[in-house]
């Protein structure tokens, strides 16, 4: 059983919440979300918000908060082999209430179909809030190039951004 090692990023100004499934090995090693160098999450978000791609953990945190974006994952703990989503077993979901109580979340998005699957199974029944599924920024989602991802992800921009 592996417990999620990364705290959620959010503050009272966060308007959108983006949920992945569970951190990859590279993200767990880096100690931050989307730590695999091939994952396009940071590049896509930078293009969506018209900014330079953040590099350090501090830059990434500041980027998210500046753009009113909260980030976490659906899964709190699970059994997983490496970074393989298909190997995920014995899921315990994160409690999103800590974010929802403090932040002004208007939309919840999931990064890919695996996150959607676990959100629908474990989180949606408790919260009663639908999540919108965006195409995964994972390098495994090779049929989506960066331009297509940016077009689909533009919906995360909120008024005032």
Sequential pLDDT tens for the chain (161 residues)? 999 999 999 999 999 999 999 999 999 999 999 999 999 999 999 999 999 999 999 999 999 999 999 999 999 999 999 888 889 999 999 999 999 999 999 999 999 999 999 999 999 999 999 999 999 999 888 899 999 999 999 999 965 45
| H or E element at residue 28 | helix 25-30
What is the number of alpha carbons within 13 Å of residue 12 lying toward its C-beta?
A: 0
Quote the pTM value: 0.95
Question: H-type helices in 67-156, by residue range?
Answer: 97-102, 113-118, 124-127, 146-153
What positions carry a catalytic annotation? 39
For residue 12, with 0-12 CB atoms within 10 Å meaning exposed, 13-18 middle and 19 or more buried, which class applies?
exposed
Domains of the chain, each with CATH number or no CATH: 2-156 (3.40.470.10)
């Amino acid at each position: 059983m592996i417990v999620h090692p990364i705290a959620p990023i959010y503050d009272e100004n966060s308007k959108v919440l983006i949920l992945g499934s569970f951190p990859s090995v590279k993200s767990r090693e880096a100690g931050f979300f989307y730590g695999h160098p091939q994952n396009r999450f940071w590049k896509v978000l930078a293009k969506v918000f018209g900014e330079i791609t953040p590099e350090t953990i501090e830059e990434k945190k500041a980027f998210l908060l500046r753009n009113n974006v909260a980030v976490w994952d659906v899964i709190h703990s699970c059994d997983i082999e490496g970074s393989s989503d298909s190997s995920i077993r014995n899921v315990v979901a994160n409690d999103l209430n800590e974010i929802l109580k403090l932040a002004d979340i208007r939309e919840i998005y999931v990064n890919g179909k695996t996150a959607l699957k676990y959100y629908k199974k474990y989180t949606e029944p408790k919260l009663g809030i639908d999540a919108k599924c965006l195409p995964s920024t994972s390098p495994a989602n090779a049929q989506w190039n960066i331009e297509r991802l940016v077009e689909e992800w533009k919906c995360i921009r909120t008024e005032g951004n």
